[in-house]
Each structure stands twice: as C-alpha cells, then as structure tokens.
Structure 1
Amino acid sequence: MPQRLPLFPLGSVLFPGLVLPLNVFEPRYRLLVQDLVAGAEDKDAVRGFGVVAIKAGYEVGEGNAQALHEVGCVALLREVTETEDGRYELVTVGASRFKVVGIDESAGTPYLTGLVEPFGDDDTEDDEDEGGLQLLSAAVARRFEEYREVLDIGGAEAPEDPRVMSYLVAAAMVLSLDQRQALLEAPDTATRLRTELAVLKQEIALVETFGAVPATELPDLPANPN
C-alpha cells in the first residue's frame, strides 16, 4: 500500500548513503522542515522527505508533478539549523529508494506530498553470488581508480561494501542527470555495478583519446548504512 511522503524536487540525484547539505529558503520548503521537526516526537513518523530529480528546468509548479522523475531517494534529517533570516541549513543523508505512484491532492500542504512505494532491492543480486558480486565490485574499484588518475582528481578510498561502492561511484562520476537517474533506478547492486563498469571503460577511453578532462571532485563523504 502506498505511503505518504513529502517531496523535495531538486535538479540533482540523491543516492542512498550519500550526504546532501541543503540551504532551504523557499517558504513552502521552510514549512516542510517545520512540519518534519514538529513531527519528530512521533516515533512512527519518518523524519525525512523524498528527493526527486526534476526532468527539465529548475522548479516544479503546482499540478506539474509529471515534470519529476518517478524514482527518488528518502533524505533523512541529521542536522537542522535555523538562520537569523528564517532559512534552514540542513544536513541530510540518503536512505531508501522509492517510486512515486501518485500525488496526495488532499494533503493540503504548499509542497508536494507523494504517494510512494519501495523501489528496487539491493539485497537481491539476481543470480550473482556474494563472491561474484565482490569480484564485480573490485573490477569497478580498479576502473574507478584509473578514472580518477586520468582525470587527476582525488577522493576517498573505495569502500569494500559493493552496495556502498555502487552508489559512491554513481555520485562521483562526471555524468549527466539522466545518467545518474538511470543508475539510481538500477534494480539492484549488480546491475548498477555492471553499468558503471561499462561507463568507466568508455569514459576513460574518451579522455585518453580526446584529452577532455571534466572538472570534478570525488566527494569525501562518510558511507551511511541507511
């Protein structure tokens, strides 16, 4: 059965386990933060909201939910700081993925409230046994190290957990929003790692051939098991 979840449209993709700082200044999203903080006393309430990427442009108006991608990631509040001018500075961390199956038109909030269901299963790796998944993850780690060397960028060491590895690489690579969204929507860790391996090989070849070096930094972020 779908659950209600406040939605926060962004021009970026959030992945599970990755930290997302936010500066909240729009009145409707300041109200969203206030609602979440006020509901923190309810032990059954989720102290977070759904981050969903905008398909085009920078904002989504009322009744324009079709401008959002269907799959997003729950952002759990870790720190909330109110500034003197009424803004909120948040530190959030990505948790589980979800799929938007509808909008709760009766929610009565200025921000979108989605009807969502869990999406994907990172604990089910198709026919990949644990050993095979570790080998796949190690192959991605080697290619990712080569990728960083070619682009001359630094960052954290590759994690051992294949699931964490798959999301860290997805967040750190130089990709378009659509490519990141496709990785978020991968049904499981094995599929995501295979896709990343193919993309890494292609990107390394392009950089070595044409000398194009995008500017980026691998986020030195703590992995979160949520």
Structure 2
Amino acid sequence: MISTEKTLKTYSFEKNLEGLPNTIPVFPLSNALLLPKCTLPLNLFESRYLHMFDYALKKNRIIGMIQPLEKDLHEKNPDVYSIGCAGLIVAFTQTNDNRYEIVLKGLSRYQVLKETDPYNGFRIFNISWEPFESDINKNVVSKLSKRNVFEDKLKQYFKKMSINADWQAIEASNDEDLINSISMGCPFTSIERQALLEAKSLDHRIEVLNSLIDMSINDNDSFKTQSLS
C-alpha cells in the first residue's frame, strides 16, 4: 500500500537571502535605526501604516525601515536614503484604541532600486539584498580587542549624557550585541544613525561609534537624563 502522507519539511526560523523578497513595503521613519539581529518596537496608528502591517502579515511578515532625507521631513512621501534595514514581524498587539504595537527583528540591510506604485497609501520599493549578504551570517567577529578601554569610554559618555545603563547586561553581551545596542539606543542624530547603519562591517561600525562618542564627550552641551535598555 502506498502512503499518501507527505513528509513535513523541518521548520526553521533562520532566513537566507534566496528566500527574501525583492519587493517590500517600506516604513519611512526619521531617527529610527534597525540593525540586523536587533529588535525595534513600533507604534502604528496612521491608516496607511495599519494597511502596511496587514499587507506584510499576509505576505511574509517583512517591513523595510528607512529614514527620509532631512530636507523632505515634512513631505507626505519624502525622498529617502538609499540604504535601509528590513525587519521581520515577531510580535504584535492590537490595542483598544485601534493601534498596532509591533516588534520587528532585523533581518538584513538592503539597497533601494526603485519605488513602485503605492498600495492603500503605503509605499512599496524594489530592493536588492546583495550588497549586504554578510548580514545573514550568524558568526560576526569584531576586532574590539580593547573592550575594557571601550567600556571605560562608554562610562564617560553615559555620565556626560546622563544615561542610565544596565552594566551587568553590557558586560555579559558579545561585541556585536554591544555595538549594535549602543548604536540603536543612544541619542544620535538621524544622520549619525544613517552612518552607523551604512557601516560596511562591524569593525567599521565600531570606528563610527567611537568617533560619535568622542565628539559627544568633547561637546559642552548638556542633555536630559535618559535610560538605555
């Protein structure tokens, strides 16, 4: 007797470039930074972005984060940078006041090729993943050999910026998690965040981050107390 039961394919949470779409819905948001393997909470309330969420949920759960150019911030559909980062919807809640609170987990950066026709008010882009194939790599190694020196500099920076940090979590994190969490969590400008996003490698991001921290430490401006979670 021949069995008609099909063999189930093993499910994997891991993604590869071959399985990623070349057309994605995009959420332009200034001063928001998503990096691969990191999570970003978002609050969606505009009608077009509620439609965007439903669209992504029906397709492949992928939303592309990207920053609008500074000169176009007040435009309804501003020009955007050429590099963004796509995230996978890993959690969401529908609130009583008709919002979605969602969490994206960074998959990979992408390069914008062209914008297609909008759908239900939100924007859709044709993109390429190829320039950032290394983002999918699980084992990212850095040259942060003098980590204790970097952490000492961080302490100066946090004190200067009045940032409350969880040092137990910082000391327990690996280099990639540390650099990316600092990049996403600290109060950098949108242009500075874009520079951190576009860094070619983790080592390059470390260089950019070091420069930004040095500039902040040497700046005489005062800032509000903040929390780095």
TM range (shorter): 0.7 to 0.9
Task: For residue 15 of structure 1, report the CA deviation from its aligned partner.
Answer: 2.4
Relative to 1, partners in 2 of residues 1:70 and 1:134: Cα closer, same or farther, differing over 3 Å?
Answer: same
TM-score by length of 2: 0.75
In structure 2, the gaps of 5 or more residues are 1-17
Q: Select the residue among 172, 187, 190 that pairs with 1:174.
A: 187
TM-score of the pair, normalised by structure 1: 0.76
Query: Sequence identity, in percent?
Result: 21
Conserved? CA contact 1:6–1:50, under 8 Å = yes
CA RMSD between the two structures:
2.8
Q: Is the 8 A contact 1:28 1:110 kept in 2?
A: yes
Structure 1 pair 60/7, CA: closer, same or farther in 2 (3 Å)? farther
Q: In the TM superposition, what are the counterparts of 1:35-184 in structure 2 within 5 Å?
A: 35-39=55-59, 45=60, 47-56=61-70, 57-58=72-73, 60-62=75-77, 64=78, 67-105=79-117, 108-118=119-129, 119-120=131-132, 121=134, 133-135=143-145, 137-157=147-167, 158=170, 160-184=173-197
Do the aligned partners of 2:195 and 2:208 also contact (CA within 8 Å) in 1?
A: no
Q: Which structure has the larger Rg? A: 2
Q: 2:209, 2:108 → 1: CA distance?
A: 20
Shift of 1:93: 2.8
Q: Which amino acid aligns with 1:81?
A: T
Determine the C-alpha separation between the residues in 2 that align with 1:175 and 1:112: 26
Match of 1:7 among 26, 45, 55: 26
Amino acid at match of 1:61: K
* Matched letter for residue 201 of structure 1: D
CA distance in 2, matches of 1:153, 1:108: 41
In structure 1, the gaps of 5 or more residues are 40-44, 221-226
Q: Which runs of 4+ in 1 moved over 6 A?
A: none
Partner of residue 5, structure 2: none
